Amino acid sequence: MSHAPEDRGREGPAEAGAHPLDGLPEVSARRPALWLLLVPAVLYCLAPLVANRIEPRVLGVPFLLFWILAATVISPLVIWAVTRLDPAYRTGAAEPLPADPGAAPEGTEGGRA
């Protein structure tokens, strides 16, 4: 099946309005900050391993509960730090998808078709 070049790979029904990806930059830089997103998982997974006890109590809160509470407060701060370090966030870029390289190759497709 063939597309008019202006379809830009939209197989689905024509949606009203501008294409949502219009004007979004692509990000090609590496994004090492994404590794920080593992911090929340590590914090919670450590809870039953290193914090499964009542003492010491922190401000009266049993240690395990304190650990989980702390993880719940620290996690969004870590995710916030990721946004500060992530070039995709700072430029508002679309997410790079290895299985779907996106607009740039598609743009050249009009010439091939």
Partner 1 sequence: MSSSAAIATTIFGLAMVATILIGVLSARGRDKGLSEWSVSSRGLGVLFIWLLMAGETYTSFSFLGTAGWSYSFGVPILYLVAYLTVGFAVAYVVGPAIWTYASRHGLISIADMAEHRFRSRPVGILVAVIATVFLVPYIQVQIQGMGVVVNAMTYGSVDLKVAAVISFVVAEVFILVSGLRGSAWVSALKDVLVIAAVVFLAVYVPMHYLDGFGDFMHRMVAEKPEWLTFPGHDSAGKGGTWFISTLLLNAVTITIFPTTVAGYLSARDPNALRRNAVLLPWYQLLLFVPMMIGATALFVMPALGNPDLALFSLVTDSLPAPAVAIIGVAGALSAIVPMSVFMLAIGTLWGRTLLGGGNGADPRSRRTGRTPADDVRTKRLSQLVCLIAGLIALAGALFYPNTLVQLSVLSYEGLAQLVPVVLLALFWRRMTKAGAVAGMLVGLAVVVALWASGNDPLYGVNGGIVALAVNLVVTVAVTLAGPAGHQRVPQPTTGTTPASATSKEAP
Question: Where along the sequence are the contacts to partner 1 (CB under 8 A)?
Answer: 1-3, 8-17, 19-21, 24, 34, 37-41, 44-45, 47-49, 52-54, 57, 60-62, 64-65, 68-69, 71-73, 75-76, 78-80, 82-83, 86, 88-89, 92-95, 97-103, 105-106, 108-109, 112-113
Q: Count of residues for the chain?
A: 113
- Tell the smallest beta-carbon distance from residue 45 to partner 1 (Å): 5
Tell the smallest beta-carbon distance from residue 36 to partner 1 (Å): 9
Residue 64: phi, psi to the nearest 5?
Answer: -60, -45
Nearer to partner 1, 12 or 32 (CB): 12
Name residue 45's amino acid. C
For residues 63 and 54, the answer to whether their CB atoms sit within 8 Å is: yes
Question: 108: part of which helix (H) or strand (E)?
Answer: helix 103-112
The phi, psi pair for 39, rounded to 5°, reads: -55, -50
Minimum distance between the CB of residue 32 and partner 1, rounded to whole angstroms? 13
